[in-house]
Structure 1
Amino acid sequence: MADSHDNLDAIRMAVDFFNKSNVSLVIHAGDLVSPFTAKEFKELNCEFKAVFGNNDGEKEGLRKNFKDLFYLDSFIEFEVQKKKFAVNHGTKEAIVDALVKSRKYDVVIRGHTHKLEIKKDEALLINPGETCGYLSGQKTVVLLDPNDLSYKTVFL
């Protein structure tokens, strides 16, 4: 998921969907925006990882409120089912392109554009669109199976 922009109803819908789908990890590609959103994300029944976005101005407040879940930063990398992931909000296209082409990662997740985009290059690039639905009118998340990298777009 990405770009939830304080839309509490959309966040609740996403959390409810993830919990009902028994996902094991939720990744947020930035623009949580306000620290008060942590309360909703703490309802997840799984691990949660996120990065800062360009609209996350109150970074110390976000770090404080999300500290029970993880430490927020601008970039994260980790491994799931022997697949290497990189997550960056994606405000600089050159950085996103470099991550995809580096051959270091199997999956690169980004946000920022509010546009759903999934494409396979040297890595699988996933932009889950916008959870908030403010620009496109569509609240989207993407489910990914880390075993075979199959995916499904979900409209909330």
Structure 2
Amino acid sequence: MKIGIFSDTHDNVANLEKAHQIFNNHNIELALFCGDLVSPFMFKFLSDWPWPIKMVFGNNEGDKYGIIRRLQQYDLHKIEYAPKGNIFSLEEDGQKIAVFHGNGAEITQALLTCGDYDLVCTGHDHVAKISQIGKTLWVNPGTVAGVSENPEVTKGSVAIYDTKSRQAEIIYLL
């Protein structure tokens, strides 16, 4: 199973469409979103996505109530937010996965080192990276928006995770 991982869209519709195309080209079956959708209007663009999307809130969703209300307005049953908004824990293809925005270093570290997860997905810092921490693969897909205070971040990115190979790759948006 291939899983698309994305984060930090910050209302960049053009790059969200590029992410959609990459996920489509890689035949993903599930999308994981690591937070910072930002505005409720973004659901208009996610409504065309054919895959289930599991989401967490980031630190820039100011109107969380509005986001949930808009989600209900679109009746997008394929989009699911974490029950309390912060951490999504799920199992796919026999692998335990955690999705967290990444804006709490202690929480990120706990998820990576507790030994409960095969895959931990975070965003927040807009820097794409893949690291192995013990048995846990840590994937930060970077930012769909393609902006950052870090001068090394010059374009948007997403990640693809393959549950069979247990490998991930970063793909940059062109």
Q: Structure 1-normalised TM-score?
A: 0.95
Q: CA deviation at 1:21?
A: 2.4
Q: CA deviation at 1:152?
A: 1.6
Structure 1 vs Structure 2 CA RMSD: 1.1
- Name the counterpart of 2:164: 147
2:150 is aligned with 1:137: no
Q: Do 1:18 and 1:44's aligned partners in 2 also have CA atoms closer than 8 Å? A: no
Q: CA deviation at 1:83?
A: 0.3
Q: Do 1:79 and 1:85's aligned partners in 2 also have CA atoms closer than 8 Å? A: yes
Tell me the secondary structure at the aligned position of residue 70 of structure 1. strand
Q: Structure 2-normalised TM-score?
A: 0.86
- Name the counterpart of 2:95: 83
2:28 is aligned with 1:23: yes
2:107 is aligned with 1:95: yes
Percent of residue pairs identical: 33
Aligned mates of 2:154, 2:40 — CA distance in 1: 24
Q: CA deviation at 1:20?
A: 3.0
Deviations 1:19-66 (A, max 9, x none): 232210111100000000011111111111110000011101111223
Q: Give 5+ residue unaligned stretches, structure 1.
A: none
Aligned mates of 1:129, 1:100 — CA distance in 2: 18
One-letter amino acid of the structure 2 residue matched with residue 125 of structure 1: W
Structure number with higher relative contact order (C-alpha < 8 Å, ≥ 6 residues apart):
2
2:114 is aligned with 1:109: no
Q: Give 5+ residue unaligned stretches, structure 2.
A: 1-5
Aligned mates of 2:160, 2:140 — CA distance in 1: 11
**1:35-114 correspondence runs (5 A):** 35-67=40-72, 68=76, 69-72=79-82, 73-114=85-126
Q: CA deviation at 1:71?
A: 3.2
One-letter amino acid of the structure 1 residue matched with residue 93 of structure 2: Q
